[in-house]
Structure 1
Amino acid sequence: MSTPQNHAVVFGATGLIGWAAVNQLLSNYPAPNTFASVTAVSNRPLDAQRTFWPKESSERPKVQLVSGVDLKSGELKEQLKDNVAGIEITTHVFYFVFAPHDEDHQEECKINCDMMRNLASALNALSPNLKSFVYSGGTRGYGIYIPGGIFAPPLDESMADTIPANYAKTVAYPWFRRILTDASAGREWTWTEVCPDVVVGFSAIGSNYSLALHWAQYLSLYAKNNGEGAEVVFPGNKEAYNARFTSVSSSILGRIAIHAALNPSSCGGKIINMSDRAEPTTFAEVWPRIASFFGLVGVAPGGAEGQRPSEYIETHGHLLGEYGKTAGVGAGRKQLDSVGWWLTFDRQLSAERLRSVGFNEEQDPSEGWIEAFSKFRDAEIIL
């Protein structure tokens, strides 16, 4: 496994999932010298002083930060060749990019499929040493956007290819699998789709769909205004509070993605669910622990619906510091608000395939929330 020539390129490196993968790569997971170099590609320019990745050392893989690569461009191949040093020796690609289009999910699907097809074509031309291509799917691919869901949990990977055709038109992941299967045919690389449900993690520049960030800003403001020991009601209803789901923390997520990349013989051509542990969790389990980080007492939802987190942040967000004001959840705030009212059904993931491919690490889901909150505070994104 220790092959110093390995070069990983991470697209979407500053987002919620991409940050986690780069963090684990630069932390020498699974062992020192597994990767010689890492290229972190982001859409926006990144301040190298605010990545919060492991600091440069003789033991850490070399890292280069690249911004301004347009995955929609007809000149993508030239952009990669000009901007990514070592693109020709790339061995592992991690793709954590998604362009949302909330108004039209079929158009969203087309945009993202075009980007994926464009990148796969460019890599085939530029990276003859490519071994694996790992990208993130999600439980949208299991139909959780349909009220009540489609399948009875636990959700296992075989279900993802049986979603109704009219729903599949609005979901990019099944089409990603076809695009990458075609692109890798007759070549030495393969793909893996890693599938999380609730991702609990950190991003230095914010993230449109980070529930941990959304709640961290809300709760830090709530604690400032109401004081230590104040009760804070779960933002949702009793059904969502008690519904079972699967969460995955930044550290576990990054390691699963790397494990899949390094084991194409067992993980290639497959969807693999991601989880902190095989046993599902509930917000009833984690909400009190989440609130306690901020000195608050988390309590179950009552009858009346209070102010939603995004509304509270909008009212009191002026209290946040410089970085907190610019690193919020942006366009995803309304969807994240609805988590506690909309996801009222059990939707936990099966961990059977994850264990069968040799990944056995587990941790208490609450630890992922605390780890993320601590990083947000260190980065001055929350109070």
Structure 2
Amino acid sequence: MNIAQALGLFLSLYRSTEGEGSTVVFPGSDLAWNALHTDTSQDILARFHIYASMMPEATSGRAFNVVDGPATTWREVWPELCAYFGLRGVGPTASGEISSAQVWMEGHRADWAKWTSANKLKEGALEGTSWKFMQDVIGIPFRRDYDASASRSIGFEEMRAHAQGYYLAFDEMRRAKIIP
């Protein structure tokens, strides 16, 4: 359950189609834009699993939340994610009309093969990505931040600045030729 690949593909294709420096409206409501949430990047989750495996007596039978850092909002993260791709991320429209990354991606389906070929990217990534899932996660209009006190109580203190986990995923996607 990860939206990093979908976001990376969306923002990469958006930049290629609309141009560097283009404005990308947040694809969600004002409530989603301002709702607190915590991100958990794949690398910090993997590092926790390794850490926890070294202390079975402290972790056996317990549940843990693992987070990149303090709760954040899309208001803070969206502009940073867009900037990574040379775009300008802005909040929801003043009219309240919700922009949809899913609709935008599906509307550009005819461009996918040409874009993949022109950038010498791995085939099938766009077709294998759930745009609905990405749109649904971005659009969550309520608070969903997690309490990481259990993982902190056993000494796992690693954190990432908000958006850093996405940057790491995007860097890996570039190395794997999923995005240009």
TM-based fold match above 0.5? yes
Whether 1:252 aligns to 2:40 is no
Q: Hey, what does 2:116 align to over in structure 1?
A: 320
Q: Which residue of 1 aligns with 2:131?
A: 333
| Partner secondary structure for residue 174 of structure 2 | helix
Contact 1:213/1:328 (CA < 8 Å) preserved in 2?
A: no
Structure 1 segments (4+ residues) deviating >2 Å:
303-310, 312-316, 321-325, 327-333
- Residue 381 (structure 1) aligned with residue 174 (structure 2): no
Cα distance change of structure 1 residues 312 and 293 upon mapping to structure 2, 3 Å threshold: farther
Higher strand share: 1
Q: Which has the higher contact order (CA 8 A, sep 6+)?
A: 2
CA distance in structure 1 between the aligned counterparts of 2:165 and 2:48, rounded to whole angstroms: 15
Q: Give the counterpart letter for 1:317 in structure 2.
A: W
Q: Give per-residue Cα distances to partners, 1:99-132, cap 9 Å, x unaligned.
A: xxxxxxxxxxxxxxxxxxxxxxxxxxxxxxxxxx
Give the letter for the 1:305 counterpart. I
**Residues 35 and 142, structure 2, Cα contact 8 Å, conserved in 1:** yes
TM-score (norm 1): 0.43
CA contact (8 A) 1:240 1:345 kept: yes
Percent of residue pairs identical = 35
Matched, 1:291 2:89: no
For residue 285 of structure 1, give the secondary structure of its aligned residue in structure 2: helix
Q: Please, which runs of 5 or more residues in structure 1 have no aligned partner?
A: 1-208
Letter in 2 for 1:352: S
> What are structure 2's unaligned runs of at least 5 residues?
none
Compared CA separation, residues 223 and 285, structure 1 to 2 (3 A): same
Q: Give the C-alpha shift of residue 305 in structure 1.
A: 3.0
Counterparts in 2 of 1:352 and 1:224: CA distance versus 1, 3 Å: same
In the alignment of these two chains, the number of paired residues is 173
The TM-score normalised by the length of structure 2 is 0.87
Deviation at 1:335, TM superposition (A): 2.1
Compared with structure 1, are the counterparts of its residues 313 and 359 closer, same or farther at alpha carbon in structure 2 (3 Å cutoff)? farther
1:308 is aligned, of 101, 104, 128, to 101
CA contact (8 A) 1:218 1:313 kept: no
Amino acid at match of 1:267: T
Q: Deviations over 1:310-341 (max 9, x none)?
A: 42452432212464431247363312222233
Mapping for residues 133-282 of structure 1, pairs under 5 Å? 209-277=1-69, 279-282=70-73
- What is the alpha-carbon root mean square deviation over aligned residues? 1.8
Give the Cα–Cα distance (whole angstroms) in 1 for the partners of residues 176 and 33 of structure 2: 29
Do 2:26 and 2:78's aligned partners in 1 also have CA atoms closer than 8 Å?
Answer: yes
